[in-house]
Structure 1
């Protein structure tokens, strides 16, 4: 069929003289769209007041913050599971077909969720945004990564930073877009949520088509002009290739799994509750009448975190090309643990500006952890099946989505039940997350070069393991 051939991997191979810098915008189109997931917290209060119509005084039958938060957790769980499940398929069929599947699932998930909102059926919201949308997240997330590593073997950190920074920046678009659409539709539907989901689903589906139809993969024998592989800068960089099936048999894979798990668990706890967190900590009650952080200002905070999530992905992963992946992660965890422990004090002292600066720095390193991971995997296991290995590593993200949500909701709700308010309600959360980061520090410290017994025997075709 003609349509099938258009989606074939062979139709995406770049011709001679193709400019590799045209590939990152295609990756960004996908990641900027699916990165909307990071702005989901702007829906928390509107979704929790569909019956009452009052975000501060929910009625019986309104969904609780914990119920709504499960939607985000399901989406991230499905992101990791679908990335692991479809990794090898994606490498076989190429990025175009995978990106199209991602756009249909992600856009379609919004449409199903809008029906759940209209019917006030949270299970439909879980299924639409969480399950179907989550599959779109997973396939879309890994679809450009190994393609970019192949285009930029001389700058792996820069390449993966470009691919993944869009995911971190998605909330910068998604947060104000959702707020404005909900305000526009507020008179026609409860809190304006259902029509907002419909419009956003259609917008993202169309926007992602740019990436689908412009992505290109390099020819098998292509390499950058004047490129000479230099693998002397780190003892961790492999000279062989390890398959996805063998990679999961190595201790290095599981140490990196713990590294990603701890980095994400700590960061996701902040992102998931960013909007209510800053509103509760710096409310009128503490700041004085009319001086507290409003819902609109909190949406701005979510957007600012998104910006630093984006910038951190590019800055830290690019820096890892210079200083190495292992030292970069040691910096994330060491400095991160100190900053997490500092956050409650800044909240207690109502130091809003410093609080925001520290939160932004924390999130920049959280984003950097994602962007540096594929380059770290490529260093340790080679380029052969790095996309599939990355997909399997993202199950740590799925686990962290559950763990992060559980830690935040359990500890903060326990604190509130004891009568603690403001910064005190979240104090135990941040101290726990600082401890989680120490575990990540120790796991990264233990990473060594992969044993040669795991290498593929004989020559391998990179294309077989690439997009």
Structure 2
């Protein structure tokens, strides 16, 4: 088994077709992208005991909101500390560990639901699931960037596209499984968790089986590194992962990612409930809305990241923030009109840029820090996601709760949050504009290029 997992066993033979690698990345990211559909479980999980309606001992929505936040927070921490290990052992071993943690997290969560222990669900989906998310998220990214040095933005778009599209599978799968398993004494959540855990484990193991890395010195036919630069921020050298944390560029990109994610992740975590309360759509239509968000999240990752190969990463993020500010500021007005189609359209654009930000940032890091340690640097940057994974849902959930307790109607309880999100995006815009070229003093010496 150790031979199968060794990095040396997955070096591609001469003539290997690099286009066979994206399916491996998609198998991994489509699996873990289910986290974006977790909101479809929230309402049924408030009726575990009561089944048809919430009973006195049932979990509250604010209690359940922490499951998603813990998973995203653990994702970031895992990626930060696991990035260097993955550089050493290769993507296959990382994918197998991710499959065990992600699938096992679902199974433990099922036990938590059956025992009605929210702490077991926190541990299962939140902690173990978050560990699986972290390893799975970063495992394919550098691999695809190495296979596609001529189009790094497109490559990261392919790698991360599946993560945004995971809810497209996860949302209807969860709804249909809960319907199948539900009965007079159960809402079917526990059995659904168990089934999905096994399904995702098998899908992720398929990705681990087919992944390959290019041999040393490989480059695509006709590739000229001198033509691959994407503007004045392209660094002619490499920055060590430890040195990267000492640069202003790292922390500015960290803030850019954190603020962009905060503005979108709270919406994704509560998309189903929020759409029902703000514009009054049905539960089935809300599930469809979650699926649409998934499609645009997925498509935006490929579209915006590919576009960044032509207009540059900094200009791409500037577009995200300017459009995001305008749309978040308009959402309260659109919701007050009660026009569901405009509400949906606004959020589809917002989520496409949210996903595009994730897919573009690895190439942004590559431009600024070089390729030698970009996988580990990317892992550490994802601590920004951890912070945003807590901050975004907390803003959505607790401000909503506060507004309702203050007498505000549920349909208007998200208005203040939308204006706050617009303000956060304004701060992100300023951080992005402040990013400049890397100073030569941060670059590694030629003899340091080996990872260790």
With the length of structure 1 as denominator, give the TM-score of the two structures: 0.95
Partners of 2:103 and 2:67 in 1: CA distance: 16
- Distance in 2 (alpha carbons) for counterparts of 1:115 and 1:436: 39
Secondary structure class of the residue paired with 1:6: helix
Match of 1:428 in 2: 416
1:423 deviates by 3.3
2:390 is the alignment partner of 1:393: no
Q: State whether structure 2 residue 379 is matched by structure 1 residue 382.
A: no
Q: CA deviation at 1:6?
A: 1.0
**Where do residues 149-168 of structure 1 align in structure 2 (5 Å cutoff)?**
149-168=145-164
Structure 2: runs of 5 or more not aligned: none
Give the aligned partner of residue 34 of structure 1.
32
- Conserved in 2, the CA contact under 8 Å of 1:344 and 1:423? no
- Is 1:277 the equivalent of 2:274? yes
- Preserved contact between residue 230 and residue 367 of structure 2 (Cα < 8 Å): no
Distance 2:242 2:108 in 1: 35
Match of 1:289 in 2: none
Asked whether the equivalents of residues 113 and 190 of structure 2 are also in contact (C-alpha less than 8 Å), the reply is: yes
Match of 1:134 among 130, 148, 152: 130
1:294 aligned to which of 265, 282, 285: 282
Query: Structure 2 CA distance, aligned partners of 1:176 and 1:247?
Result: 41
What are the equivalent positions in structure 2 for 1:350-365 lying under 5 Å apart?
Answer: 350-365=338-353
Q: Which residue of 1 aligns with 2:56?
A: 60
What is the CA–CA distance in structure 2 between the aligned matches of 1:350 and 1:122, rounded to whole Å? 36
In structure 1, stretches of 5+ residues that fail to align are 284-292
CA distance in 2 between partners of 1:172 and 1:459 (Å): 46
Counterpart of 1:81 in structure 2 is: 77
Alpha-carbon contact 1:95-1:144 (below 8 Å) kept: yes
Name the CA distance, whole Å, in 1 between partners of 2:63 and 2:449.
Answer: 47
Partner SS for 1:258: helix
Q: Deviations over 1:108-160 (max 9, x none)?
A: 00000000000000000000000001000000000000111111111000000
Measure the CA separation in 2 of the matches of 1:172 and 1:192.
20
CA distance, structure 2, for counterparts of residue 233 and residue 261 of structure 1: 23
Distance (Å, rounded) in 2 between the aligned partners of 1:188 and 1:173: 27
The equivalent position to 1:304 in structure 2, one of 292, 297, 312, is 292
Q: Say if 2:174 is the partner of 1:186.
A: no
1:189-229 C-alpha deviation (Å, 9 max, x unpaired): 62100000000000000011111010010111100101001
- 1:38 aligns to what SS in structure 2? helix
Residue pair 1:309, 1:365 contacting (<8 A) in 2 also: yes
TM-fit CA distance, 1:32: 0.1
Residue 52 of structure 1 aligns to a residue in which SS?
A: coil
Tell me, yes or no, if the aligned pair for 1:384 and 1:460 is still in contact at 8 Å: no
Q: CA RMSD in A?
A: 1.1
Q: How many residues align?
A: 451
Q: Which of 352, 358, 361 does residue 370 from structure 1 map onto?
A: 358
1:232/1:399 Cα in 2 relative to 1: closer, same or farther (>3 Å)? closer
Are the counterparts in 2 of residues 326 and 445 from structure 1 also a CA contact under 8 Å?
yes
Deviation at residue 84 of structure 1 after TM alignment: 0.5
1:51 corresponds, among 49, 52, 60, to 49
How far is 1:320 from its partner? 0.2
Are 2:258 and 1:261 aligned?
A: yes
| 2:428 maps to which of 409, 429, 440 | 440
Q: Is the deviation greater in 88-97 or in 226-235?
A: 226-235
CA contact (8 A) 1:261 1:400 kept: yes
* Aligned residue number for residue 242 of structure 1: 239
